[in-house]
Structure 1
């Protein structure tokens, strides 16, 4: 497996992987499939996206996006990690997220944040193993398929960027 910064030309592969996550109902509240054009909008020049490849295939990605529009939050990013179904459990998610963390620290973010379904034990273990802190639980944060879901808030601070 190799990791690199994502390119807009990776959008079809990212859409495929994200759509698997939407279908599986374990990682997002989203229910509508995404197109390549939707994914291309993620490439804003400010928020890193990395892909993990095996040969010519994109098998996982980790992306960041804006946390909040206020200027006081400009160096905080939300993040997501998704792995192609046939590559789950093989270290691709860890490689994607750890590489994304390096990119985010390098470009000056001081914090990464996300929300994880409380029952997503695999993601929670990954976050813990990479040094993320579970901040707390948002109860009934949103409905998915008519069912209220709780989420765990996670954060990672980049100490060298806090000065």
Structure 2
């Protein structure tokens, strides 16, 4: 397994992983699938803050982070996205990707990392808790997908100063 910086050429593999989550689960509230072009641009914009886990040349998951909110007061707070393909789960890839993102974020002045997690994804809550994230909020019924109201759980972790 290799963790490396994502490249625009990874957009198709990332879209294939992400779009299944968008289409078939309540893990994300969005219903709009990602296009390769949009993802390639997103990877380019976040160059240095977007990584993939790959094995034998196949992308098995990714992590990226970016601004939590706009405005200078939030400049040291970031929110991340972590998604794994089914064959990448339960192998430590998520943990390795998150450590890479948190290490990079701390080295670049990020003080707090935020996770916005669908309450329909208790595995992600447990995963983040195991990484030292604490639940700091719950917004009931702020999302709607597949005819269901969804709660959003916020978790955060203060990163070590670099």
TM-score by length of 2: 0.91
Counterpart residue number, 2:93: 92
Counterpart residue number, 2:103: 102
In structure 1, the gaps of 5 or more residues are: none
Counterpart residue number, 1:57: 58
Is the contact made by 1:18 and 1:34 (CA closer than 8 Å) also made in structure 2? yes
Counterpart residue number, 2:71: 70
Counterpart residue number, 2:6: 6
The number of residues matched between the two structures is 161
Counterpart residue number, 1:145: 146
Following the alignment from structure 2 to structure 1, what is the Cα–Cα distance between the partners of residues 46 and 128?
A: 25
The alignment partner of 2:70 has SS state of coil
Cα distance, 1:82 vs structure 2 = 0.3
TM-score by length of 1: 0.90
Q: Write out per-residue CA displacement over residues 10-59 of structure 1, whole angstroms, 9 at most, x where no aligned residue.
A: 11111111112112313201112211111123232477111111111110
Counterpart residue number, 1:15: 15
In structure 2, the gaps of 5 or more residues are: none
The alignment partner of 1:38 has SS state of helix
Following the alignment from structure 2 to structure 1, what is the Cα–Cα distance between the partners of residues 139 and 19?
A: 25
Following the alignment from structure 2 to structure 1, what is the Cα–Cα distance between the partners of residues 100 and 24?
A: 25
Is the contact made by 2:142 and 2:151 (CA closer than 8 Å) also made in structure 1? yes
The question of 1:122 aligning with 2:116 is answered no
